[in-house]
């Protein structure tokens, strides 16, 4: 039943407009599954969504009719079948026979078994169609064009290739914990920035250290925004748009007097649960940052601004199909207004860390340059030695953009220096981070 559940998840997201987390809760095919079956269903659905555009390109080449004329449940099964063939390394015969059987057992697709059999066999016999498709074809055409025009073809392809990989699980550790110790204990990898990286699929709440609050889940790239604030012990720091709370936990663990603010009560409940599990003190405030002000001026503010989230599509791949150009255009105005609010919260010479999880210049460097031109801010450039594992992400201006540069792959490196850099570089979700100081 795993394949039926995976197809139902794809149906709910690609056709029903749900996000994957909501689909996982709503699917009556996924809910009864347990253990490995549950994990396998989620892995298949996630793989299909991560490569959706590229899979559809292959299917369009082997179908005798447009995709929109295929019954949505049958199309969902075809997409799940292609994900098994091209991304998960499942043998052709096993993939085809099991997916055909899923069609027969799943009432909404029960009439499509013959079509699923024929199309998956054709697709399996022509793997080059998937392998040779443009990397950016995983996204809708308009979004692929937008990302290519924003950051260039090589960077866009690097992000797309990263999206095709199952993302790992990164853990941030409480102050005093050693990454090497936890890597040994969990059978994981210690990263240069101090995070611990696990393979995906591990049951988080069952791992050693979870119940004791010794660590929390946080992408390695997400640690940069708090890290560039330096030593925050006993300093007053406000984390704006704080949910789900990883950066607030990072600041509190480092000894800061943290105020975690977010507009969403539901998302703040997650922050409260995490803070309680980790026994980290912080003040949690439900408010719109544009109207709220602290009782005293802050030493530092971390602004993880609302954004298009194009840098986390490998974790939320359905997001590419829930965006439109108008949706992207609305963010810079909100980001600028939040910067103005942060300025009013900071003491003179107070430090701001600005972060967005997107590579879009309109939401990153353009917002920062406009803030500097206003005369209220000056940039405090980030140095490579401040960001172990992410020296490749430091821009000429002194900001951070965590795009995995294609030139840094060990195989392609053309010098010993480049090979060393490639070996020590950390791949992550894509973040833009800048450090500003409030001018007096």
pLDDT digit string, tens, across residues 65-118: 999 999 999 999 999 999 999 999 899 989 999 999 999 999 998 889 999 999
Of 241, 307, 355, 357, which is the active-site residue?
357
Residue 231 neighbours by CB distance under 10 Å: 9
Domain-located, residue 156: no
| Residue 122 pLDDT | 93
pLDDT at 413 over 90: no
Domain stop point among 85, 103, 133: 133
Domain-located, residue 143: no
Domain count, the chain: 2
CATH number of the CATH domain containing 410: 3.40.50.150
Between CA 138 and CA 313 the distance in angstroms is: 11
278 and 419: one domain? yes
336 and 434: one domain? yes
CATH number of the CATH domain containing 94: 1.10.940.10
Between CA 185 and CA 326 the distance in angstroms is: 47
233 and 347: one domain? yes
The CA distances from residue 315 to 33, 87, 125, 211, 215, in Å, are: 22, 16, 30, 24, 20
Q: Among this protein's residues, is 357 annotated catalytic?
A: yes
Question: How is residue 81 written in tokens?
Answer: 């079948």
pTM of full prediction above 0.75: yes
pLDDT at 414 over 60: no
pLDDT at 213 over 70: yes
| Residue 425 pLDDT | 84
Compute, in degrees rounded to 10, the torsion defined by CA atoms 102, 107, 112, 117: 10
The CA distances from residue 314 to 15, 60, 92, 141, 252, in Å, are: 19, 23, 25, 17, 28
| Residue 408 pLDDT | 46
| Residue in 105, 41, 42, 52 with CA at minimum distance from that of residue 78 | 52
121 and 223: one domain? no
% of the chain exceeding 90 in pLDDT: 87
Domain-located, residue 150: no
| Residue 422 pLDDT | 58
pLDDT tens profile 285-326: 999 999 999 999 999 999 999 999 999 999 999 999 998 888
Mean pLDDT along residues 219-227: 98
Binned at pLDDT 50, 70 and 90, residue 337 comes out as: very high
Domain-located, residue 57: yes
Domain stop point among 96, 114, 133: 133
Domain stop point among 118, 133, 148: 133
| Residue 126 pLDDT | 87
pLDDT tens profile 138-197: 999 999 999 999 999 999 999 999 999 989 999 999 999 999 999 999 999 999 999 999
Cβ burial, residue 96 (10 Å; 0-12/13-18/19+): buried
Domain-located, residue 162: no
Binned at pLDDT 50, 70 and 90, residue 14 comes out as: very high
| Residue 420 pLDDT | 56
| Residue 201 pLDDT | 77
Domain-located, residue 145: no
119 and 224: one domain? no
Question: How is residue 186 written in tokens?
Answer: 């969990």
Domain-located, residue 171: no
| Residue in 107, 109, 105, 50 with CA at minimum distance from that of residue 78 | 109
| Residue 203 pLDDT | 85
Per DSSP, what are the bridge partners of residue 172?
A: 216
| Residue 409 pLDDT | 47
pLDDT at 265 over 70: yes
pLDDT tens profile 339-385: 999 999 999 999 999 999 999 999 999 999 999 999 999 999 999 99
Do 171 and 189 form a contact (C-beta atoms < 8 A)? Answer: no
Domain-located, residue 210: no
Domain span holding position 67: 2-133
| Residue 177 pLDDT | 97
274 and 390: one domain? yes
412 and 287: one domain? yes
| Residue 440 pLDDT | 80
């Amino acid at each position: 039943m795993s394949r039926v559940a995976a197809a139902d998840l794809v149906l709910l997201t690609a056709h029903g407009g749900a996000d994957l987390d909501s689909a996982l809760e709503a699917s009556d095919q996924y809910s009864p599954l347990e253990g490995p079956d549950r994990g396998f269903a989620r892995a298949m659905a996630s793989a299909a969504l991560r490569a959706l555009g590229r899979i559809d390109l292959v299917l369009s080449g082997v179908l005798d009719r447009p995709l929109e004329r295929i019954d949505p449940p049958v199309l969902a099964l075809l997409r799940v079948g292609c994900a098994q063939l091209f991304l998960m390394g499942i043998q052709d015969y096993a993939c085809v026979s099991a997916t055909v059987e899923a069609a027969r057992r799943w009432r909404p697709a029960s009439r499509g078994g013959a079509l699923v059999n024929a199309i998956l066999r054709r697709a399996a016999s022509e793997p080059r169609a998937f392998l040779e498709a443009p990397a950016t074809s995983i996204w809708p055409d308009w979004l692929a064009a937008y990302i290519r025009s924003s950051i260039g073809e090589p960077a866009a392809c690097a992000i797309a290739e990263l999206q095709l990989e199952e993302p790992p699980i990164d853990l941030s550790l409480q102050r005093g914990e050693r990454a090497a110790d936890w890597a040994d204990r969990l059978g994981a990898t210690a990263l240069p920035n101090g995070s611990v990286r696990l393979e995906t699929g591990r049951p988080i709440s069952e791992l050693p250290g979870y119940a004791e609050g010794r660590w929390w889940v946080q992408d390695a790239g997400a640690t940069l925004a708090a890290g560039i604030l330096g030593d925050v012990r006993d300093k007053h720091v406000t984390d704006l748009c704080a949910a789900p709370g990883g950066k607030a936990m990072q600041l509190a663990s480092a000894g800061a007097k943290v105020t975690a603010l977010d507009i969403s009560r539901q998302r703040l409940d997650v922050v409260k649960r995490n803070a309680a599990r980790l026994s980290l003190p912080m003040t949690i405030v439900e408010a719109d940052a544009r109207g709220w002000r602290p009782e005293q001026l802050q030493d530092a503010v971390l602004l993880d601004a609302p954004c298009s989230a194009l840098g986390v599509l490998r974790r939320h791949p359905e997001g590419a199909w829930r965006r439109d150009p108008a949706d992207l255009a609305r963010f810079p105005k909100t980001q600028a207004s939040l910067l103005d609010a942060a300025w009013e919260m900071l003491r003179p010479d107070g430090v701001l860390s600005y972060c967005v999880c997107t590579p879009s210049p309109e939401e990153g460097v353009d917002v920062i340059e406009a803030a500097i031109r206003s005369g209220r801010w000056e940039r405090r450039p980030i140095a490579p030695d401040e960001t172990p594992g992410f020296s490749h992400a430091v821009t000429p201006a002194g900001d951070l953009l965590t795009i995995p540069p294609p030139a840094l792959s060990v195989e392609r490196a053309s010098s010993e220096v480049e090979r060393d850099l490639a070996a020590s570089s950390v791949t992550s979700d894509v973040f833009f981070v800048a450090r500003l100081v409030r001018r007096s």
